[in-house]
Structure 1
């Protein structure tokens, strides 16, 4: 074994670079800001603005699809200029400036516009950020790196709803007063990007010009990459927007002031499991843990569809969080594993474009099913898609282990 291989084999999660930790804390701060708003936004739309569930699904789907489309351009651009931090900072900054729009919004279309710009910022930053993590992290600890960033991100998604709940009590359920506080952690996140994130030396941009994706580049992406994309798409169809978890809890009688507990509980489990899942995936492979995550999502959807009362809601939401912990960081690591080094930004952009488009379809379908047939049909449809994804993973694993010839 060479000295480089020996050094790689001895690396642990403690060797994850400081820039990855900084990006994790940036994600934490922005998620505190975002979830402070998003944990209450479905109810704000329905009870204050007067929107229906189909409109909620449309807003969430359009917002996420916007992010997905932007990721293709930002990922490819980061490959070409060799400067990912610039795009990461721009994306976080754009999301930060939208936060004051939510407390001022008086119609669903104003909320849609704010969500559109906010998710545009997410689209600009996510693919370059994920590619930057791969740039600075050895393959031996890549799962750990993505797991740590995802865990810190999710800790923010856990803290945001808790803060929302406290502020709702303080301001006597005044949504608009609570929303104003989201600007503070968003501004801190942008400051941390500027001061705490460093790019590796010697990264050069590609010579490619013109369209963001070229036929030659697509030809260099392996079948393993496209299988990762396919699994991610079916994953997304199964889970749709988390706004429907909030609406399910309200429908089962959870008090308005306690609604953020849905996201608190989900993200607590998500945060606790993301890093161990990433570390374990470095040792035993990504596919086995992804199968576990899909199994958790299948049971979560069935529970939310069929189990009565708030007990069923919180069991289902907990399983939803478990599936996120065993899938989201692992999918990112799988993309990084299967993409050429100089096309990582492009690969993450393509992955997010296709999964984001799936989220648009899934969220609009979920909203329509809910409005037409009730919440049970929405979650049963999710269970069908998650079961299909389990089959896809098992087939892919069998093909990967089949002897050549």
Structure 2
């Protein structure tokens, strides 16, 4: 497996430890927020605003990375901000401070995403992109297994120790910062250096981008408009009467399926086609959200989260591989940054809108509306978006 280079391994290990920090908090986040007085609607607005911050920064810093031909400074700063945001959540419980801490975390994600994914793309070829991104997603999601497992263990011995958990989450984040110091940029010639782009210069890329990129991204963004935060899935389980332990355990199970499936599905996508695997993943998403509208036991939700893990493995890394295969290599960070930027803005709308539907009409309506919109996207991709060809030079 020569395509798993030293850089791919370092980036994957960084994502592993960062996700340990983030995901040990994620399943208890809605519980923690409700304990300090956040309503479901306010949780939706918080998650939406955080994603919007990440979105606006992803596009700009992705463009800046391409212009400077530098990747590592953005990766290091981005992971550093995410690390320091964790203990910030435990210092005060005032809503404005919580909003600020989540914004710092998402800003870090926005700074690093385009540069990191471009570096992964640079380390692969058109024939190995899906498996490289799939391997990275597998390692990333392994952290989402270990993190909640640690949270479950801590809460078993120290029930309700949410603030302690936020403080402990800084330690793996610190290790990610250390690992990022081992990344290296290639030398940049004087001819490659360009002027610093304007804040919203990445928006011009939409007009200049290939039509295949625009057609694909339109479908992905419409899907994002219905793909709200996973917090709502966890709240649905709590609403059904599952304990904190069962909720976190199911979330760990989902991430385990995701981690075990992402790399094999990446290899399969390189062989039979990225579009086939991606569309199959969206169909699984439709099934999961339709199923979430039906109340059931732990076994029912366990089956749904099994399918949800397969959906995530079949779409998240493969979407970026698909994008990098329909855009120029010199525009990779800009293309991914622009997409993920718009995606995060759409996610803000999705989380806020889902929170509003849930608040007004209940959980069943929220999940069925999501499933219907996702089904429309499946039809659009099948009819109007061609399968990707080899990456342009």
Q: Does 1:178 align with 2:165?
A: yes
Could you tell me which residue of structure 2 aligns to residue 305 of structure 1? 293
Q: Which runs of 5+ in 2 are unaligned?
A: none
C-alpha distance 234-273 of structure 1, shift in aligned 2 (>3 A) = farther
Between 1:36-45 and 1:308-317, the stretch displaced more is: 308-317
Could you tell me which residue of structure 2 aligns to residue 8 of structure 1? none
Given that 2:72 and 2:184 are in contact with CA atoms closer than 8 Å, whether structure 1 keeps it comes out as yes
Given that 1:33 and 1:186 are in contact with CA atoms closer than 8 Å, whether structure 2 keeps it comes out as yes
Q: Does 1:166 align with 2:153?
A: yes
- Give RMSD over aligned pairs: 1.9
1:150-181 Cα deviation digits (max 9, x unpaired) = 11001111111111110111222221122221
Q: CA deviation at 1:61?
A: 0.9
C-alpha distance 199-251 of structure 1, shift in aligned 2 (>3 A) = same
Alignment of 1:306-345 (within 5 A): 306-345=294-333
Q: Does 1:154 align with 2:145?
A: no
Tell me the TM-score normalised to structure 2 length.
Answer: 0.94
Given that 1:305 and 1:376 are in contact with CA atoms closer than 8 Å, whether structure 2 keeps it comes out as yes
For 1:38 and 1:381, locate their aligned partners in 2 and report how far apart those are by CA, in whole Å: 24
Q: CA deviation at 1:337?
A: 0.7
Between 1:140-149 and 1:202-211, the stretch displaced more is: 202-211
Could you tell me which residue of structure 2 aligns to residue 284 of structure 1? 272
Q: CA deviation at 1:334?
A: 0.9
Q: Does 1:80 align with 2:67?
A: yes
Given that 2:202 and 2:338 are in contact with CA atoms closer than 8 Å, whether structure 1 keeps it comes out as no
2:130 pairs with one of 138, 143, 154: 143
Given that 1:266 and 1:317 are in contact with CA atoms closer than 8 Å, whether structure 2 keeps it comes out as yes
Q: Does 1:199 align with 2:199?
A: no
C-alpha distance 262-104 of structure 1, shift in aligned 2 (>3 A) = farther
Tell me the TM-score normalised to structure 1 length.
Answer: 0.91
Could you tell me which residue of structure 2 aligns to residue 221 of structure 1? 209
Between 1:240-249 and 1:251-260, the stretch displaced more is: 251-260
Given that 2:246 and 2:298 are in contact with CA atoms closer than 8 Å, whether structure 1 keeps it comes out as no
For 1:182 and 1:210, locate their aligned partners in 2 and report how far apart those are by CA, in whole Å: 35
Could you tell me which residue of structure 2 aligns to residue 57 of structure 1? 44
For 1:316 and 1:351, locate their aligned partners in 2 and report how far apart those are by CA, in whole Å: 28
Given that 2:273 and 2:387 are in contact with CA atoms closer than 8 Å, whether structure 1 keeps it comes out as no
Could you tell me which residue of structure 2 aligns to residue 10 of structure 1? none
